[in-house]
Structure formats: C-alpha cells, structure tokens
Amino acid sequence: MPAPRIVITGLGGICSLGTDAGAIWQSMCEGRAAIGPIENADLHEVKIKIGAEIKALPEHGIEHKRLVTMDRYSLLAVIAAKEALAQSALTVDGGNAHRVGAVVGVGVCGWHSIEESYRAILLEGRSRTDIFTVPRVMPGAAAGQVSMVHGLTGPVFGVTSACASSNHAIAAAVDQLRLGRADVMLAGGADAPLVYGVMKGWEALRVLAPDTCRPFADGRKGLVLGEGAGIAVLETLDHARARGAPILAELAGVGMSADAADIVAPTLEGPVRAMQACLTEAGLAAEEVAYVNAHGTGTKANDRLETEAIKRVFGAHARTLSVSSTKSMHGHCLGASGAIELIACVNAVREGLVPPTANYSAPDPDCDLDVTPNEARRRPVRAAISNGFAFGGTNAVVAVREIG
C-alpha cells in the first residue's frame, strides 16, 4: 500500500520580518532585511550587537498564569501555532483532540530563563531561582506548551538537532501521520537566542558577521542570529479533503543523513545524501525542482560547500535552478529557521515567486549558481526543497510541491 500523501493546511510564523506568516512572506518578496542593532540591554559586553530581533510581540491573549511558565521561545511557538490552526480551519475538541499532535524543534531552548536564573543566583545573591525555571528551559517545553494552549492530546514531543531542528520536526510529524498515530500534526520550530550567553558563545566561534548577512556573496563575513518560530499544520490528503480544509501545498518528502565527521565543519557527502533522499522519497526528478531554499548561512566555507552539493545533486539542472537564502533577511533563527523557510517554499509554489537573497554585493566565483540576488523573481515553481544542515553533521531536507 502506498504511503498516504501529506499536505499543509495552515502556516503560522513570527520573526523579525513580521508577526504572522503573511507579513513574513510579504517582507521576503520585498527583499527587506530585518537585521539591525539588538535592543536587549543585557548585551552590553557583547562585541557583535546586531541580530534579527522581534521588536514587539503581537497581542496573544495568553493568560498570565500560563505566561509565567513559558520561556520566550515557547511563547513564539504558541503564537505561530495559533495562526497555523486558524488558517487550517481545524476545530480541536473532545472528539478529535486525541488525533491531533505537535512536534516542535529547538536549537538552544530556554536561554532567557537560564540567564534569569544565573543573574538571580550569581549577581543578585538570591538563594533560589524562579520556581518555573526547569519547565521553562526544557527542550520539549515548546511542544508541551503548544499542546496545552491549543488542547492537543495526540503525539506531542520536541526534537533538537541544532539548525536542522525544524526540518527534523517536520519529518517526525510526517512519520506520525503515515503510521496512523494521528490525523493532524503541528510541526515546526522555535528559538530565541538573542541573549548574552548564547551571543558570547557564537562570538567565540568567530562566525558572526559584524554588519549584515550576505549569503553566497563575495566578501561575506558570517551569519547573523535571529529569533522566531514557524509552525505548519500537516495532515493526510484524505483527511484534509474529508473536512474541506484549505490545502496550501503537498509536503512531498523528507530526506535525512548524518556526516559522522566533525562537530562544526560539514562534509559534502552528508548534504548530498540528504537532498538525494528527499527527492527519492518525494518521487521528484531533479528537473522538476525549480527552487532551492538554501541553508545559506553566510559563512565562507558553508556557502561554497552547499553550492557544490547542489551541483552534485542536480547536475546540469543546477544551472537553471533558482536558489536563495532568506536568512539574509530574517537571520539564522537556529531551530526555527527551517520552519520559517518553509513559509518561503510553500508560497513560492503557490505564487510562482522566488524570494531573493538580500544584501548581495559581488559574486563569489565559488558560489556560481543563480542565487536570486536582491530582487524576487517570477517563475513557475511546481516543486521546491528547503535545506537544513546543522552542527553535529545532522542534515534534513524537505520538499513541497503544488497539489495536483
């Protein structure tokens, strides 16, 4: 029996580009980079003080007694999930809640709460931390909060694989649906890394750009951290059609691999295997893919390696692909990046519009694909893939295509 087809019926998002998925997509289409000085006053000793920050949260209606149990990254996930559920027109109640679950990926978890506890004990001399410190900082907290706020009692868990966390969460959710453990799964990621300890850690790696993020461009100086969340509502095609749900696109396939090499330096073979596995599972020929949302962090070595990996997978067709890195606009949101980039892929398929790589200056001869510099481009996009290649050599790629 063939595996059931999985479709996307809702999208929610929040990041520096906007506080909902529609606003994020509009900003991407405009090529607007939302990177600038971080307003967090606790970063006074950090050398790199730019990031992709959410300047103000939308009204979310979460009651105070729930809010005090959440770290910022969990709150972002709950906000994105609310939007995604609303678009999907899914009502969760006593009759179906046990068939609706959530998987939320996270890269660095609840660092706002971790730093509050350090400040209380080490700087302020308090004898204890906040009572909710542990439930706030757990890597699975975002998934749990999404389930509690929205009443989901099906399979609920968190995953963490650094920058590939969102794509791994999507893959895990697809598995739950195909195994028949749920009818609907919310899947995506959330992260809020713009705090002192995390910034200092990334600063020590010497990969943070001092000005902005310029993926694939000559003279690029590194990545820029951002915060955000993205959630997709996934369900089987039969279930979506039976309830008359709006179908945005098909989640055609996923591919995963591990480099098994170095904790920070990626290999060529791992990303190649993940992309090839994704195309195979999706039943897509290389020539059917029009757009690749690249991992595209803006570091010199990684952008060159990803360019070579795309050439290896797509062959001669790589020259006709549209490639872009939306991290040039929303920064690297770590565990949330893949879910925010899924918004780009789904809308590229729906609207036939490829978002650009912003801040592009001069070409790098080693990054010689069409990276859609600075301006969005109209073209038919029947299928797109989104790359997630993480520290630890954990790779996850997802494919979306128009629903036929």
Token couple for 19:
């506080």
Q: What is the DSSP letter of 387?
A: E
Domain limits, the chain: 6-242, 253-401
H helix runs in 89-125, sequence order: 111-118
Confidence of residue 40 (pLDDT cuts 50, 70, 90): confident
Is the alpha carbon torsion for 299, 300, 305, 307 positive or negative?
positive
Token couple for 181:
């453990």
Residue 404, SS3 per DSSP:
coil
User: What does the pLDDT read at residue 26?
Assistant: 98
Token couple for 325:
């890195």
Token couple for 74:
């969990």
Task: Note the pLDDT tens digit of each residue in 93-105.
Answer: 999 999 999 999 9
Confidence of residue 119 (pLDDT cuts 50, 70, 90): confident
Q: Which of 15, 109, 163, 345 is catalytic?
A: 163
Task: Note the pLDDT tens digit of each residue in 56-85.
Answer: 999 999 999 999 999 999 999 999 999 999
Query: Average pLDDT in the 138-163 region?
Result: 98
Cβ atoms of 394 and 258 closer than 8 Å: yes
CA dihedral 308, 312, 316, 321 (to 10 degrees): -60
Total residue count of the chain as it appears in this document: 404
Alpha carbon of 96 to those of 92, 104, 172: distances in Å?
6, 20, 20
- Separation of alpha carbons 4 and 180, rounded Å: 10
- Separation of alpha carbons 185 and 72, rounded Å: 22
Q: What share of residues in the chain are helix, strand, coil (percent, to 5)? A: 40, 25, 40
Asked whether the predicted pLDDT for residue 1 surpasses 80, the reply is no
User: What does the pLDDT read at residue 11?
Assistant: 99
Residue 13, SS3 per DSSP:
strand
User: What does the pLDDT read at residue 16?
Assistant: 98
CATH 3.20.20.140 fits 6-242, yes or no: no
User: What does the pLDDT read at residue 113?
Assistant: 93
User: What does the pLDDT read at residue 404?
Assistant: 77
Provide long-range contacts, Cβ within 8 A and 24+ apart, for 313-317. 313/272, 313/275, 313/276, 313/279, 313/286, 314/286, 314/289, 315/286, 317/286, 317/287, 317/289
- Separation of alpha carbons 390 and 392, rounded Å: 6
Q: Which of 332, 333, 345, 367 is catalytic?
A: 332
Residue 6 dihedral angles phi and psi, to the nearest 5°: -110, 135
- Which residue in this structure is represented by tokens 């009204």? 59
Residue 258, SS3 per DSSP:
strand
Residue 295 bears catalytic tag: yes
- Separation of alpha carbons 337 and 190, rounded Å: 8
Task: Note the pLDDT tens digit of each residue in 221-280.
Answer: 999 999 999 999 999 999 999 999 999 999 999 999 999 999 999 999 999 999 999 999
Q: How many Cα atoms occupy the beta-carbon half-sphere of 287 within 13 Å?
A: 1
User: What does the pLDDT read at residue 118?
Assistant: 87
Residue 163 bears catalytic tag: yes
Residue 44 bears catalytic tag: no
Confidence of residue 394 (pLDDT cuts 50, 70, 90): very high
Q: What is the DSSP letter of 122?
A: I
Task: Note the pLDDT tens digit of each residue in 312-349.
Answer: 999 999 999 999 999 999 999 999 999 999 999 999 99
Residue 401, SS3 per DSSP:
strand
Q: How many C-beta atoms surround the C-beta of residue 241 within 10 A?
A: 12
User: What does the pLDDT read at residue 49?
Assistant: 92
Alpha carbon of 324 to those of 120, 135, 235, 247: distances in Å?
43, 37, 28, 25
Token couple for 283:
């039943």
- Indicate the average pLDDT of the chain: 97
- Separation of alpha carbons 311 and 397, rounded Å: 16
More reliable by pLDDT, 222 or 43: 222
Q: Which of 112, 150, 295, 330 is catalytic?
A: 295
Asked whether the predicted pLDDT for residue 360 surpasses 80, the reply is yes
- Domain 253-401's class? alpha beta
